[in-house]
Amino acid sequence: MASSNDDDSQQRFALGFLIALLAVVVFFVIGIALWHNGRSAAAKTQAPVVVVNPPTLAVVTETVTVTIPDGASIRVNDGVVNFYFATGSADLAPGAAEALAAVIKGVQDGRKAVVSGFHDTTGDAAINEQLAQKRAEMVRDVLVGLGVPADKVNLQKPAVTAGSGNDAEARRVEAKLVD
């Protein structure tokens, strides 16, 4: 016949085992969640894939507007390429390479490109300025990826970084040619 000490010992062992098993399951679930979130964040912060040897691009000379549902768009007017961004985003609208063709051609002809970032006035001003800089760097990186020498692209912080117009028009990066 088993003594009560043996029963208590077995019950404590079983309870301890169950608690340890539960802790392992909880840590496993938390680990999976952190791993998944880390992969999502890494995917969002990866550098854009750019083409080193770009195909021949048609030069856009007239005003062109491309808009996608989330608010990002591109507008070319008199050789100035304006990239408009969705709130809190630095993602370019499709067609960036085609829109930048005139700028690329101008650089090939001996001119320099100037890229300037602007932001809207909603939210924290310091965060908005950082986002405007990140957006301008994105456009610069696309230009360099399309074969423009990095020393021919100048990032230029405008005297007033808060853009004019409504918020959607204020969240922009301008790429233009200078002599």
> What pLDDT does residue 98 have?
87
* CA–CA dist 170, 90 (Å, integer): 14
For residue 50, the model assigns a pLDDT of 44
pLDDT in tens for each of the 179 residues of the chain? 556 677 788 888 888 887 887 777 777 777 777 766 665 554 454 444 444 444 444 444 455 444 444 568 888 888 889 998 888 888 888 888 888 988 999 999 999 999 999 888 888 888 988 999 999 999 999 999 999 999 999 999 887 777 766 777 888 899 999 98
pLDDT of residue 173: 92
Q: What is the pLDDT of residue 57?
A: 43
List strand residue ranges (DSSP E) for 37-128, in order: 64-67, 73-77, 80-84, 112-117
pLDDT score at 67 = 44
Report how far residue 78's alpha carbon sits from residue 80's, in angstroms, rounded to the nearest whole number.
6
Q: Report pLDDT for 51.
A: 43
**Rounded alpha-carbon distances, angstroms, from residue 132 to 71, 89, 111, 158:** 16, 10, 24, 11
DSSP structure class, residue 151: G
pTM over 0.75: no
The most distant pair of C-alpha atoms in the chain lies apart, rounded to whole Å, by 100
CA distance 136 to 148: 15
